[in-house]
Amino acid sequence: MAVIKNMNETSFIELLGYSFESDKIKSFTKEYKINGEIRIQKNAGGYIYQADTWKEGDTISLTFIGNKMYSHNYGTPINTLDNDSDELIVSEITVDNNFVKNKEKSPIELPFSLELGDSKDLIFNKLKKKPYEKSNSSYGYSWWFRFDNFRILTALNEKYELIWLRVMKLDKYEIEKENLKKELRQQNKNIKTENIVLLSNFKSKLPTIEWTKRKLEGDDIFTNESINIIEKLLIDYINQLIKLTSKKNATTIYNSVKKITTSINKANDKLQIIDTLEREEICDFINQIVRKTGLNIDSTIDLTEDWREW
């Protein structure tokens, strides 16, 4: 299959948000002989939360979400034929030419002039940034790069060569978090030293107070030691936020969430004290106290989500 040339930098990324029924997607699926037998999964409410065209041997595959959930998670699609229906909207595109086996280039021009087989240094140079997240995988490594309204997953083999690629639409929640990070310096004026009293009052609102009550009522997930460990972490965090608030630095206040969350991760690895209810209580506590510094954060954002493992 010939490689399409002269595509612009973002190329097929621009297909994200288009309806499967659109002329643009129909033309794309015809050009690349993409499987028309779409697997559809619905939630309990009957709405499509995932659908895909993937079948064994496909070079290019599309992933969709139904219009109803797409609108809720991502905003208004670029186009729909019938906005009242739950038609499929493109949310992900994967290019996998089985490079590990055949060492052939992609049949379609990849975004940012990437090529299958590119080294990690070439990937950095072409994307003009470093990954915001890395992880090990069965094929080697997964590196994630985030842009204004989409992200790219680059799959690397053990030699750190690009072997396949996926582009994904950022949801409204992710975009809101990115906008928050970009505007943190402008929020220094929102940090109020008079709120230090409010922060100190949180020492009487610790979730561990409820845990102690539940322990006394017979909940054997807790021990005095485990409760005390988490309680000390939270009290130390309150004291840290008090110091940071006195300095009126919104960025350090925002960044402090990572430290407390990862500290609780480490403690819970040993204690195994945090279940669903405890998770909700800790998340609510951390999100509330950070907002009490004066930091203006959308109420839908869970600040701990990017780092917590409980």
Same domain, 155 and 206: no
165 Cβ contact partners less than 8 Å away, ≥ 6 residues apart: 94, 95, 96, 106, 110, 114, 116, 152, 153, 154, 155
Task: Report if residue 197 sits inside a domain.
Answer: yes
**Do 20 and 130 share a domain, yes or no?**
yes
Q: Does the residue 220 lie in any domain? A: yes
Residue 8's contacts (CB-CB under 8 Å, 6 or more residues apart) are none
Global pTM reads 0.73
Q: In the prediction, which pLDDT does 124 show?
A: 95
pLDDT on residue 10: 54
Q: Within a domain: residue 191? A: yes
In sequence order, the β-bridge partners of residue 141 are 136, 156
Last residue of one domain, picked from the residues 155, 170, 185:
170
Whether residues 215 and 73 fall in one domain = no
Give domain status of residue 243, yes or no. yes
Number of domains in the chain: 2
Q: Answer with the one of 122, 150, 170 that is the final residue of a domain.
A: 170
The answer to whether residue 298 sits within a structural domain is: no
102 and 195 both lie in a single domain: no
The pLDDT, as a whole number, for residue 184 is: 94
164 and 30 in a common domain: yes
Range of the domain at 53: 11-170
Residue 79 and residue 142 in one domain: yes
For residue 7, what pLDDT is reported?
41
Q: Which of these three, 128, 147, 170, is where a domain ends? A: 170
Per-10-residue mean pLDDT of the chain, 310 residues long, equals 42 93 93 89 95 91 96 92 91 94 90 96 95 93 94 96 96 89 93 97 97 96 96 98 97 97 97 96 97 93 93
Residue 99 and residue 47 share a domain: yes
pLDDT at position 221 is 94
> Does one domain contain both 242 and 102?
no
pLDDT of residue 55: 87
Residues 6+ apart with CB under 8 A from 37: 53, 55
3-state helix, strand, coil in the chain (%, to 5): 45, 15, 40
Using the structure block, give the residue that is written with the tokens 């969709």: 64
Are 189 and 158 in a shared domain?
A: no
Q: Cα separation of 120 and 25, whole Å?
A: 31
Question: Do 80 and 223 share a domain, yes or no?
Answer: no
Looking at the fold, whether 25 and 166 belong to one and the same domain comes out as yes
